[in-house]
Structure 1
Amino acid sequence: MKLFLYILTIISTTTFVHSQVGINTENPTRILDINGDLNLRKELRVGGTDIVAGEAGTKDQLLQIKADADTKNNWKTYQIANGTGSLSLYYLNTTKDDTGILFNTTGSTAAYNMDDNATDWIYLTKNKDNFVVTDGTGSSKVTLSLQTTVQINRASGSASYSASFACGIFLKKGTEEYKLKAVRSDVVRGLRGSYKIFNLNVTLDKLEQGSYQVQAACRNRQLGSGSTLVNLGIGQPTDTTKLNQAMASSTMTTTLLHPY
């Protein structure tokens, strides 16, 4: 009788080990299926075998879950760049505008102020992006980088001339109006067809939770003088013998960082 009971115990134990076990669920879908909270008092080890204990990780490491089911998950050390204030990359995107803007009249040379509206500015229509701030501590930052090409031209004449312009980055939250958040003015000087690369970079902090839209825009300032007005192309060529559209296109990169 004792031998019979021992055999039943072995069979029962073997069946238990190789079946799925559920805690707080009658229909487990994994070897161990827990329906509820897990309070782990000591180590969590991964990647172990029948004879070797898995890795428990070290301080500040993160558990990396592999997409391939046949590849073991593991602990990973992520290096956060110094100076970011313990922020991690949350969103990154680059937009490209291959249309550009053409100016052929002189505009205003007045100064610009933070939170100005977009009146008299012309958008680089495809340099537009959307991002969402989910952190509610006000610690998030967004870095915006615009690069474009600016070229001058005139129908006739070989003299050297100049044209000034400004480009800015506008931001709005939800249904609010676009507000100017960064601006730089510059000048192109030289002979017909002269051009330069223009860069504008800004980091905005203390962003509140919500959905945001960002867009780049430019405007004309002084285009030559008197009767010698010139054509100014921003993000588009005005003299295709020296610059084509692929070279002149504008890009804007949006990088959103959230607390780590």
Structure 2
Amino acid sequence: MMKKLLSTLLFSIGLLATAQVGIKTDTPKAQLDVNGDANFRNKIGIFNATDNTVFQGNNDQLLVSRGEGFAPIWKSLRIPEYEPNKFYLIYNNSFSDKVGVTFTSSEDSTVGFASRGATFTKGKELNSLPGFKKITNLSKTISVFSTQSKAYFQFETVVQADFGAVGSVDTSIDYACGIFVDGKLVNLRQRNLKAITSTHPFLTHTQIGIVDNLAKGDHTVDVACTRLGSYGASGNKLSIGINGYSNINDFIAQSSLKVDVYEVPEVFNTIIN
């Protein structure tokens, strides 16, 4: 009798090792298919065939599948801890451009010196501002997920003119660069590049713009510049974000845009290592 019972038990184990077994299902989809609740009273371990060890995971870890043919792996589940009504950095990125824009003296803006303050106002449509050219690779799309946000834009470039060497600073060009969100002006800086005692002078241009509480969703960001006016600079070229002459190279002259969006979180996405 004992031999028969032992034979039956060994036969059943052999079936389990070679066939699919279903619990509460007649059509198992895996070697062990449980249709219902499962209760593990002790620990679950992952066998490592390399060193014959069993790793039971650490506290607060989850067992995650890596797909058919691969052993599962323990992962740590991290849920960010946010304090209410505080801003957190949600989006951060930076972009660069070596194409830049150039202006001839015939492209001086039609906006007169006296009317610049009235023309360059917050919210002005880019399409309504004459003479502005976009810096191509700085045009990007960003996403905002909360109604309470602060978006920071830091733009930097190099501006160069093809002035010859002169002893007077009366030769110069006015220019302006603006940061636009959804086609509307949010920040603008005007500057003047003067001739000096050496040829092809250049300067580093930096500006920072801030926008509060953008609507939830996607937004376009553009940087565009214009040549405003010339003083004793008839026929001279202005280059922004591109090296017009060999005293600087395209690495030095390139433009960059850094975007940081801080939000009071409304949506909490879990993150798995």
Asked if Structure 1 and Structure 2 have the same fold, meaning a TM-score greater than 0.5 normalized by the shorter chain, the answer is: yes
Unmatched segments (≥5 aa) in structure 2: 269-273
Question: Please, what TM-score do these two structures have when normalized by structure 2?
Answer: 0.63
Structure 1 residues not aligned, in runs of 5+:
173-177
Q: Which residue among 175, 190, 201 is the counterpart of 1:194?
A: 201
**Hey, what does 1:215 align to over in structure 2?**
222
Alignment of 1:121-200 (within 5 A): 121-133=132-144, 135=145, 137-139=146-148, 142-154=151-163, 157-160=166-169, 161-172=171-182, 178-191=183-196, 192-200=199-207
Query: Does 2:56 align with 1:53?
Result: yes
Q: Counterpart in 1 of 2:4? A: 4
Q: Specify which structure has the higher proportion of helix.
A: 2
Write the distance in 1 (CA, Å) between the matches of 2:16 and 2:151.
53
| Matched residue SS, 2:247 | coil
Q: What CA distance in whole angstroms lies between the structure 1 residues aligned with 2:123 and 2:45?
A: 52
Matched residue type, 1:237: N
**Is the alpha carbon distance of 1:185 and 1:228 closer, same or farther for their aligned partners in structure 2, counting shifts above 3 Å?**
closer
Root mean square deviation, CA, Å: 4.7
Q: Distance in 2 between matches of 1:204 and 1:64?
A: 41
Range that drifts further, 185-194 or 249-258: 249-258
CA distance 1:185–1:53, shift in 2 (3 Å): same
Q: Which deviations, in whole Å up to 9, do the C-alpha atoms of 1:103-140 show, x marking residues without a partner?
A: 4254334122211111222212332112344x3x3245
Percent identity, aligned pairs only, is 19
User: 2:200 & 2:63 partners in 1: Cα distance?
Assistant: 56
Offset, 1:156: 7.3
- 1:1-260 counterparts in 2 under 5 A? 1=1, 3-9=3-9, 11-12=11-12, 16=16, 26-28=27-29, 51-57=54-60, 72-75=73-76, 85-89=87-91, 92=93, 94-104=95-105, 106-107=108-109, 108=111, 109=113, 110-111=116-117, 112-118=120-126, 119-120=129-130, 121-133=132-144, 135=145, 137-139=146-148, 142-154=151-163, 157-160=166-169, 161-172=171-182, 178-191=183-196, 192-224=199-231, 227-229=232-234, 230-238=236-244, 240-255=245-260, 259=265
Inter-partner Cα distance in structure 2 for 1:51 and 1:148: 57
How many residues are aligned here?
A: 242
CA shift, 1:236, in A, is 2.7
TM superposition shift of 1:167: 1.0
CA contact 1:48–1:55 (8 Å) conserved in 2: no
More displaced, 154-163 or 180-189? 154-163
Partner of 1:175: none
Q: 1:196 to 1:211 in 2, by over 3 A?
A: same
Q: CA deviation at 1:20?
A: 6.4
TM-score normalized with structure 1 length: 0.66
